[in-house]
Amino acid sequence: MIASLQPTRSNETMEQTEVAVSSAILRGVSLYSYQNETFQGKMSLEDCIRTSAALGAKGIEIIGEQTFWGWPECGVAQEDVDNWHRLIAKYDCTPVSHDFMLDYKRYKGREMPFDEQVASVKNDIDFGARLGMKFIRALVSIDPAVLVAAADYAQEKGIKILIEVHAPLHFDHPWIIRHAEAFEKSGSDALGFLPDMGMFLFKFPPVWKEKFMRIGVPKAIADYIEKAYEDRVLSEYVILNVAQMGGTGPAIAMAETLRHNAAFEPKRMLDYMPRIHNIHGKFYQMDEDYVEPSIPYDEIVRVLKQGNYQGYICSEYEGNRWIEDAQEPDSVEQVRRQQVMLARLLGESVEPSLNTTVAA
């Protein structure tokens, strides 16, 4: 078995490494975070980049086809790419990742052929390179053989392809291990992982609970599920108990979300550090006291430091979809709070703040 699949190095070894190499975890934002505003045209690309930069989050990640209209079917004009570089330079930012979506179900009733899938990935590699990205993000549903077939091309273009490891998957899930084995067998350094911190959910997110109650889950059942999650009860028990409590549709759906977190140990990233190059700082809710109540960022940052992680943590606000039925999300304020939390955890001396208004 190959090096990065071995059990983790000891703490002792880790600490020695930390002394030898200076650790520098960087802050960034995935513009996914501002989707509620950009969807409605309330924030422009420049607003997104300026806001992130003002918070000291200089790494910019995008979902290519969210930020650039036309991609991939209609292509993107060079002037739009030029504008991107102009904005990145203006705000002293760094392009981090183009998150792509391989639409292998493009043709109704038949899956896209293998070679066309590889060509599609190469197209996204080209686009990532045009944008000056270091990484392109792949979804985990993609056949690892497709990524392996595109790895040399990525290497030539200076791009790494990163599989997003996202709940309900985790680093011990057989499907992820299959990817890891394929990556090791390929011998390529152009293949890696992008863990989404949502997989380390250690409490039931309050915004999930409130949404489930709005769509009809009785409070007693919602309280029970929240408590059962905290007590780490096996999901199958919780689902059956909820049914016995008289829970129907939305209550069962709420209980079934527990199936999505079968493992939540941040330390499991340590085995894979050599292939982890970017991190999604997923969050559902940042409270006024700069705490994400359901994702253990203190422990996450501790583990990343231990593993000598040198890349970005990009804010990825996903509370929007859980609250939008009841209130307009304030994505910028949510991102600001997470950036304050991250800066503190990273030991930065200056607190991030917004000195300019969001819309220019």
Partner 1 sequence: MMDNKMIVEGSLQREDGGFSFLGRLPYYRGLGLSMIEDIIVSVDGEAIPREAIRFCVRGRTYTLDKMETVYDNRWNFGEKARIIALNGGLPAGNHAITFAVRMRVSYLPFVPTTKDTKQLAMAA
Q: Among residues 90, 106, 214, 227, which is the contact residue for partner 1, using CB under 8 A?
A: 106
Q: Among residues 82, 103, 152, 351, which is the contact residue for partner 1, using CB under 8 A?
A: 103
Instruction: List C-alpha distances in Å: 263 to 159, 173, 234, 235, 266.
Output: 30, 9, 11, 12, 9
Specify the residue, 108 or 219, whose C-beta has the smaller distance to partner 1. Answer: 108
Specify the residue, 102 or 332, whose C-beta has the smaller distance to partner 1. Answer: 102
Specify the residue, 7 or 41, whose C-beta has the smaller distance to partner 1. Answer: 41
| DSSP for 213-251, written as a single string | HHTT--HHHHHHHHHHHHTT--HHHHHHHHHHTT--HHH
Q: At residue 97, what is the residue type?
A: S
Site for a copy of itself in 105-164 (CB under 8 A): 141
Site for partner 1 in 134-153 (CB under 8 A): 139, 141
What length does the chain have? 360
Residues 6+ apart with CB under 8 A from 326: 210, 211, 214
Site for a copy of itself in 205-234 (CB under 8 A): 231-234
Smallest CA-to-CA distance from 187 within 279, 275, 307 is with 275
CB burial of residue 89 (10 Å; 0-12, 13-18, 19+): exposed
Q: Among residues 7, 41, 109, 347, which is the contact residue for a copy of itself, using CB under 8 A?
A: 7
Closest contact distance (angstroms) between CB of 234 and a copy of itself is 6
Smallest CA-to-CA distance from 167 within 195, 208, 137 is with 195
Site for a copy of itself in 174-203 (CB under 8 A): 174-175, 177-178, 202
Q: Does 101 bind partner 1 (CB under 8 A)?
A: yes
Q: At residue 159, what is the residue type?
A: I
Residues 6+ apart with CB under 8 A from 10: none
- Token couple for 178: 């299959």
What DSSP designation does 337 have?
A: H
Neighbours of 305 (CB within 10 A): 16
Specify the residue, 75 or 187, whose C-beta has the smaller distance to partner 1. Answer: 75
Spell out, one character per residue from 253 to 292, where the chain touches a copy of itself: x when CB under 8 A holds, - when not. Answer: ------x-xxxxx-xx-x----------------------
Q: At residue 73, what is the residue type?
A: E
The residue ranges that bind partner 1 (CB under 8 A) are 32, 35-36, 38-41, 63, 65-66, 69-70, 72-74, 101-108, 139, 141, 236-237, 240-241, 244, 320-321, 324-325
The residue ranges that bind a copy of itself (CB under 8 A) are 6-11, 13, 141, 168-170, 172-175, 177-178, 202, 231-234, 236-237, 259, 261-265, 267-268, 270
